[in-house]
A and B are shown apart, each in its own frame.
Chain A
Amino acid sequence: MMKLVSAVFVTLLLLAAPAAAAGQSLFNSAGLGRPLEAVDARARALGSFGIGLQGGAIAPGTDPAAAARLPFPSGVMVGQPTWVEASRESVAAGHFRGTRFPLLGIAYPLMGGMATVHVGSVLDQRFHGDRPVTIDLGGTSHDVIDRFTQEGGVSTAGLGYARMVGDRLSVGVTVGRYTGSVIRELTRDFGDLDLDGTESFTTSGFWSYAGTTVTAGATADVGSIGRLAASATWSSSLDADASSETAGEDRSYDLPLELRVGGSAVLAPGLVLVASAVHADWSTLQEDLSGGVTAHGTTGFGVGVELSQVRLLARRAPLRLGYRRSGLPFALGDDSATESAFTGGLGFLFNEANGIVLAGVDLAVERGERKAGSIVEQFWRGTVALRVSGL
C-alpha cells in the first residue's frame, strides 16, 4: 500500500502544476484576482486557515513551524475541484467549474530540523467576458462583440526550514518567490457584420510576475491538550513585467502583511476543537490599482471539530466538521466581498504506526457562498490531499 500511494503521489507531482491553477469564481475578474489558500484537505474540512492544527503538517505558506513536528520525510499534494452557480440580483448568471492544485510540498530532515520545498497558489486570475458593442460604419449602426480572455495567476515557489526549540515550541520560516504570468487578450469579433473578408481585431499583453515573500511562524504546545500558533507573511512588491511584445506598461503592487493565528485543543480523547483567524489590509493596494477597482482589508475566521477515533473499513478515519468566513480583497463594484462555507470531510489513513500517519488521503467538501452586493456565487468545493511519510 505504501508503495502504491508513493507511486500515485510522485506521478501526480509530475503531472500537476500549481501555476496552472484554473479560474473558479467571478471574483477572479476583480482587481488582482481571487486569493487562493495553499492549505491541505484536513485544514479545509476543519474550516481552518491552515494554522495551529494538532500534529505535523506541510503548510509552508501558513504555518511554517508545523513541519518541525513531522517525524519522517513527507510529501503532500492537494487537488481542488469546484462547481459554481452564479447569480446577479437573484437571476442566474452562469455556472462554471474547474480544478486547481493549490499545494505541492515535500519535507525532508535537515540539520536537526525539517526542510521544506513547496509550490503553491496565491491568486487566481482566469476568466473571460463578452461585451456587446454598437459601432457606426458609414452612418449605419452594427452590433459587434468584444471578447476578453485573461489566463494565468500568481504562484509561489519556496524553501523553508522548521525545527523544534525545546520540547514544546517549534519555529519555522519560508522564503519564496512569486512566479506566474498572465495573458490578457481582447478581441473584437465582427462575425455579426456579415461582411466577407473581415478580420477580428485582437490586442493582448503578457506579464510575468516576480517578487519575494517570507513567512515566519511559531507553534507552541499549551499544557497537555492545547496548541497555539501564529505566523506572518511579508511580501515585497509584486512586480508584473510586460514582455517585449506587450504595449502595456509594467506594474507593481505592494502586497499587504498577512497575519494568522490558530489553535487547537483536545477536549476529550478523540475530540479536537480548532480555530483560526487571518487578517490582511489589502486596501493598501488601492493606489496601485486602476480601472475603478476597489480593494478592501480582509479578516477571516474559522472553527471546527475533529473526531479522530472514528473508524471506517477497519481503519482510522477522522471525521471533521467546520465553518469559515473571510473577506475577499477585491470585489465587483463598491461592495466588499465575503466568502463563507460549511465544511466537512474525512481522512483515510492507509498506513499508520504508533500514531504516526505514513500514508493517507484527506477529503474535504465545502458548501459555501461568495457574495458582494447583488452578486452571489453558490459553490461546492472539494479538496483531496494525498499525504505520505517515510519516502
Chain B
Amino acid sequence: MAAAAAALVAGVACSEQTPTSIDGNVLPVAPVTIEVEIPWEGFGSDLVVLGGYGSPSDLGRGYVANAHGGSLQARTLARFGIFPRSASVRDTAGTTQTDTMISITGGRLVAFFDTIASTNAGPVTLELGALQEEWDARSATWTSAVDSVGEARPWSAAGGGAVTSWGTAEWDPADGDSLSFVLDSAQVAAWVDTADASRGARIDLITPGSRLELRDVALRLEAVPSVNPDTVVQLSVPDEDLTFIYDPAPAPPPDGVRIGGVPGWRTVLDVTMPTQLNGPPALCAAVGCPVALEPEEVSYAALVLTSRATDAAYQPSDSIGLDVRPVLLRSALPKAPLGATLVGSRGQRMHPSLFGGAEGTRVEVPITAFLRQLVAGADSVTQEAPPNTLALLSTFEPFSLSFASFYGPGSPQAPMLKLIVTVGPSVELP
C-alpha cells in the first residue's frame, strides 16, 4: 500500500501542468520593440568587390550565347572519356553475353538544356564543331586554350580556335529540353584517342540574342555487336570535361555590390555597430537616449540592399541564392577564411526580375547572430574580438554565369542596416 501510494504521488509529479495566469497585470512591464534604420555612413566601411572565385569548369554546366544583351558570346566545350569496348547483347540464340568485338557505326551528341534559365522563347539553331587545338578544361577562356601555372597558350582564334563544323541542329523548347547532333563513324572516331588533348566538342549558338544554359552534354554511341549483326546497341561515353568560354569578361564594378558570376564575385564590407543609439524618437521616449545596446536586445538585424539592373549580358534568368558569412581574417583577402553561413544552407533566394525590371527592390539579408556578437564585443575569456567583416556571395560558388547587382555606398540607395531592437526595464519582483 505504501509503495503504491508513493508510486501514485511520483507518477502524478511527472505530469506537471503549470498554471497559466489569466491576469496580464501580474506580468512584468512590457518591453518596447522599435525599428531603427542606420544609413551606410553609420555602420559600414571598406566595401570592396572581389572576383576570381572558381572557374567555369567548376560549375559543371555549359552556356551558349550569341550577342546576348548586345555583346555576350559564349560557347560550351565538352570532352569525353574512354569509349566502351564491349557490350552485353543477346546473340541470335537469345543468350546474353559480353561482346568485345563491337563495331561503332556512329553516334549522337545530346545537349540537355535548362529551359527556365535559358532566355530564348522560340526555336534557336546551334552548331556542333570539333576542336582542333589542345586545350585545358580547368583554365580555358575565350582567348586562351591553356592558362595554367607555367603554361599559357592562346587559341589560334579567340573563341576556341580552329573548329571543324559537324553540322547544325534546331532546338525548340516547346519540343523538349534536349537536342541531338547526329555523328557518323568517322566523327566519332576522332574522339576515341584519349591521349589526344585537342579532342573535344564545341557548341555554338547561331541564332543571335539569346543565352542558353546546358545542364549536361552526353555522347551516345551506336554499335553493332559481332554476335548479332542485325542489332544496334546504344552505349554511353562517360563525361570527362564540361566547361564554357565567354566574352567579354565583366569588368569589376566601379561602385556597387556584385554577387555571383563565373568566376564568382564576392562583396566584402566592414560593419561597425554603433555603441549607442540616439533615436528614433519612439525609442528615446520609451527608455531614454542614448541607449547602450546589449546583444539580447537586438531582435533582428539585416543588411538592406537595393537591387540594381545588371548588365543585360549577365542579367540573371533564374533565382540566385545569396549567402552571407563573416570573414574571419580580413587581412588574408581574397583568400580569407569564412565563417558559418548566416542565412542557412539554401541562402536567401532572389528572383531574377530584381536585377531587371524590378530593380530598386529592397532586399533584407538577416545578420542577427553576427551583429549580436559584434555588440557583445571581445570574448571575456580569450579577449578575442568577434569578426566585423562580412562577405556577400552566392550560395554555391560559382553559381551561374549571371550575377546579382546592388547599389553601393555613395548612392542614394546605399546599403543600410536595419535593426529591430527590444528594450525594456529589468524584471523585478512584485
On B, residues with C-beta under 8 Å from A are: 1-3, 5-6, 8-10, 12-13, 15-28, 30-31, 33-35, 282, 296-302, 342-344, 348, 366-369, 372, 420, 422, 424, 426-430
Residues of A within 8 A of B30 (CB): 131, 133, 146
Structural contact, A137 and B22, CB atoms closer than 8 A: no
Complex Cα gap A185–B366 (Å)? 26
B343 contacts A289, C-beta separation under 8 Å: no
The CA-CA distance from A5 to B179 in the complex, in Å, is 86
Contacts of A95 in B (CB 8 A): 17
B31 close to A97 (CB less than 8 A): no
Q: Which residues of B contact A348 (CB under 8 A)?
A: 1
Q: Contacts A97-B12, A248-B426 known; A186 to B28 CB distance under 8 Å?
A: yes
B-contacting 9-mer, from A58-66, A79-87, A254-262, A301-309: A79-87
When the two chains form their complex, are residues A128 and B20 in contact, meaning their CB atoms are under 8 A apart? Answer: yes
Q: How far is B287's CA from A247's CA once the two chains are assembled, in angstroms?
A: 15
Complex alpha-carbon distance, A9 and B3, angstroms: 9
- Which residues on the B side are within 8 Å of A81 (C-beta)? 8-9, 12-13
Decide: B430 and A289 in contact? CB cutoff 8 A: yes
A203 to B298, CA, bound (A): 12
Instruction: Tell me the interface secondary structure of chain B in the complex.
Output: mixed
- B-contacting 9-mer, from A23-31, A45-53, A110-118: A23-31
- Residue A249 is within 8 A (CB to CB) of chain B in the complex: yes
In the docked arrangement, what's the CA distance between A205 and B18, Å? 19
What would be 16 A-B contacts, judged by CB atoms less than 8 Å apart?
Answer: A8-B2, A23-B19, A94-B19, A129-B27, A135-B34, A146-B31, A184-B28, A188-B31, A190-B299, A197-B368, A198-B299, A199-B298, A202-B296, A290-B428, A290-B430, A361-B5
Task: Say whether B430 contacts A98, CB under 8 Å.
Answer: no
Query: Are the C-beta atoms of A127 and B35 separated by less than 8 Å?
Result: no
User: Across the interface, which residues of B come within 8 angstroms of A25, CB to CB?
Assistant: 19
B-facing mask of A350-391, CB < 8 A → 1, else 0? Answer: 100000000101010000000000010000000010100000
Are A386 and B2 in contact, CB atoms less than 8 angstroms apart? yes
Q: How far is the CB of B105 from chain A (nearest CB, A)?
A: 57
How far is B298's CA from A246's CA once the two chains are assembled, in angstroms? Answer: 19
Cβ–Cβ contact B26 & A332, under 8 A: yes
Whether A199 touches B31, Cβ cut-off 8 Å, given contacts A26-B21, A98-B17, A185-B427, is no
* CB–CB B9/A199 < 8 A: no
Q: Within the complex, what minimum Cβ distance (angstroms) separates A369 from chain B?
A: 16
Q: Give the number of A-B contacts (CB < 8 Å).
A: 217
B-facing residues in A69-114 (Cβ within 8 Å): 79-81, 84, 86, 88, 93-99, 101
Count the A residues whose beta carbon is within 8 Å of the partner chain — how many? 85
**Chain A stretch 167-219: residues in CB contact (< 8 A) with chain B:** 182, 184-186, 188, 190, 195-205, 207
A148 to B299, CA, bound (A): 17
B299 touches A129 (CB 8 A): no
Residue of B with least CB distance to A34: B19
Tell me the nearest residue of chain A to B344, going by C-beta: A196
Nearest-CB residue, chain B, relative to A100: B13
A138 touching B35, Cβ below 8 Å: yes
Residues of A within 8 A of B299 (CB): 188, 190, 198-201
Report the minimum CB–CB distance from A296 to chain B (whole Å).
15
Residues of A within 8 Å of B31, CB to CB, are: 146, 186, 188, 201, 203
Complex interface bits, A7-47 against B, C-beta within 8 A gives 1, otherwise 0: 01101100100000011111011111000000000000000
Would A251 and B13 count as touching, CB distance under 8 A? no
Q: Chain B nearest CB: distance from A93 CB in Å? A: 5
Are A127 and B19 within 8 A (Cβ)? yes
Instruction: Tell me if B17 and A96 are in contact (CB < 8 A).
Output: yes
Nearest chain-A residue to B297 (Cβ)? A201
A190 partner residues in chain B, CB cutoff 8 A:
299-300, 420
**A350 and B1 contacting across the interface, CB-CB below 8 Å:** yes
**Contact among B13, B16, B25, B369 for A291, CB-based, below 8 A:** B25
In the complex, the answer to whether A203 meets B424 with C-beta atoms within 8 Å is yes
Distance between Cα atoms of A148 and B29 in the complex (Å): 11
- Is the Cβ of B18 less than 8 Å from the Cβ of A23? yes
**Cβ of A79 and Cβ of B9 under 8 Å apart?**
yes
Complexed CA–CA distance, A375 and B19 (Å): 13
Q: Are A129 and B26 in contact (CB under 8 A)?
A: yes
| Complex contact B26–A29 (CB within 8 A) | yes
- Of B9, B31, B298, B424, chain A has the most CB atoms within 10 Å of the CB of B9
The docked-state distance in angstroms from the alpha carbon of A94 to that of B20 is 7
A240 located at the interface, meaning its Cβ lies under 8 Å from any Cβ of chain B in the complex: yes
Q: Is the CB of A186 within 8 A of B300?
A: no
Within the complex, which residue of B17, B297, B368, B430 is in contact with A32, where a contact is CB–CB below 8 Å?
B430
- Nearest B residue to A292 via CB reads B25
Q: Which 3 A-B pairs have the closest CB atoms?
A: A197-B366, A79-B9, A247-B426
A159 within 8 A of B: no
Instruction: Determine whether A320 belongs to the interface, using a CB cutoff of 8 Å to chain B.
Output: no
**Contact between chains at A375 and B18 (CB < 8 Å):** no
A198 / chain B contacts, CB cutoff of 8 Å: 299-300, 366, 368, 420
User: Knowing that A94-B22, A201-B33, A205-B427 are A-B contacts, what are 13 other residue pairs whose CB atoms are under 8 Å apart, sorted by A's residue number?
Assistant: A98-B13, A126-B18, A128-B19, A131-B24, A190-B299, A198-B420, A201-B422, A203-B296, A203-B426, A249-B428, A251-B428, A350-B1, A386-B6
